[in-house]
Structure 1
Amino acid sequence: MSFPATHPSVDKKSGKTCPVTGESHEYQPPATGDARSVCPAINTMANHGYIRRDGKKISPYAIYRGLKACYGLSTPLAIVLTTGGWLLIKRLGRINLFELGLHNGVEHDASVVHADCPSGQKDAPVAIEPKLVDEFASEIVKTASASVGRELAEAEVVVTGHDIVRTRIRREKLSKPLDAMHAEIARGEMAIILGVWQKTVEGKEGVPLPWMRTWLGTERLPEGWSPDHVQTLRDVVKRSGAMRAEMKKIKDGEGETGKSQ
Structure 2
Amino acid sequence: MLFKGIGHFFLDLRIFIWDAWLTLLNVVLPRLPSRARGIDSEDGSLWPEYVPPKEGDSRCSCPALNALANHGILPHDGKNVKFTEITDKVHETFNFAVTFATYVSRNGADTLGKDYNKDTCNLSDLDKHNGIEHDASLLRQDAYFSKSQGQPHIPYIEELLALASSTDSNDKKVLTVADLSKFSSKRRADSRRENPQFQLDDTHKIFGSANSSTLLAIFGGKVDDLEIFLKEERIPERWESTARSRKGLTFIAFNPTTFKVEHGIDEKPYEKEEGKKGEKA
- Classify the TM-score, shorter chain: 0.7 to 0.9
Q: CA deviation at 1:237?
A: 1.4
- What are the superposed Cα offsets for residues 136-172 of structure 1, whole Å, 9 maximum, x if unpaired? 223x15xx3xx89xxxxxx831011111111111111
Aligned to 1:68: 91
Superposed, 1:1-261 pairs within 5 Å as 25-92=48-115, 93-118=119-144, 124-138=148-162, 140-141=163-164, 144=165, 156-175=172-191, 176-198=198-220, 207-227=221-241, 228-229=244-245, 230-247=248-265, 250-251=266-267
Aligned to 2:277: none
Do the aligned partners of 1:111 and 1:186 also contact (CA within 8 Å) in 2? Answer: yes
Do the aligned partners of 1:192 and 1:231 also contact (CA within 8 Å) in 2? Answer: no
Moved more, 28-37 or 166-175: 28-37
Matches of 1:90 and 1:215, distance apart in 2:
30
Matches of 2:57 and 2:179, distance apart in 1:
33
Q: CA deviation at 1:37?
A: 0.8
Amino acid at match of 2:136: A
Structure 2 unaligned residues grouped into runs of 5+ = 1-40, 192-197, 273-281
Instruction: Provide TM-score, normalisation by structure 2.
Output: 0.69
Structure 1 unaligned residues grouped into runs of 5+ = 1-17, 149-154, 199-206, 257-261
Do the aligned partners of 1:157 and 1:208 also contact (CA within 8 Å) in 2? Answer: yes
Q: CA deviation at 1:66?
A: 0.9
Q: Which has the higher contact order (CA 8 A, sep 6+)?
A: 2
Matches of 1:181 and 1:48, distance apart in 2:
31
Matches of 2:268 and 2:188, distance apart in 1:
15
Do the aligned partners of 1:112 and 1:167 also contact (CA within 8 Å) in 2? Answer: yes
Matches of 1:89 and 1:180, distance apart in 2:
20
Relative to structure 1, the CA distance from residue 170 to residue 255 in structure 2 (aligned partners, 3 Å threshold; closer, same or farther) is closer
Matches of 2:212 and 2:97, distance apart in 1:
16
Relative to structure 1, the CA distance from residue 108 to residue 124 in structure 2 (aligned partners, 3 Å threshold; closer, same or farther) is farther
- What are the superposed Cα offsets for residues 20-40 of structure 1, whole Å, 9 maximum, x if unpaired? 99xx62222112321111111
CA RMSD of aligned residues (A): 2.9
Q: CA deviation at 1:95?
A: 0.6
Matches of 1:253 and 1:128, distance apart in 2:
26
Matches of 2:52 and 2:150, distance apart in 1:
14
Matches of 2:179 and 2:225, distance apart in 1:
15
Aligned residues: 216
Q: CA deviation at 1:124?
A: 4.9
Relative to structure 1, the CA distance from residue 177 to residue 105 in structure 2 (aligned partners, 3 Å threshold; closer, same or farther) is closer
Moved more, 184-193 or 222-231: 222-231
Moved more, 24-33 or 186-195: 24-33
Q: CA deviation at 1:49?
A: 2.0
Aligned to 1:201: none
Q: CA deviation at 1:252?
A: 7.3
Relative to structure 1, the CA distance from residue 97 to residue 255 in structure 2 (aligned partners, 3 Å threshold; closer, same or farther) is closer
Q: Calculate percent identity across the aligned residue pairs.
A: 24
Do the aligned partners of 2:182 and 2:264 also contact (CA within 8 Å) in 1? Answer: no
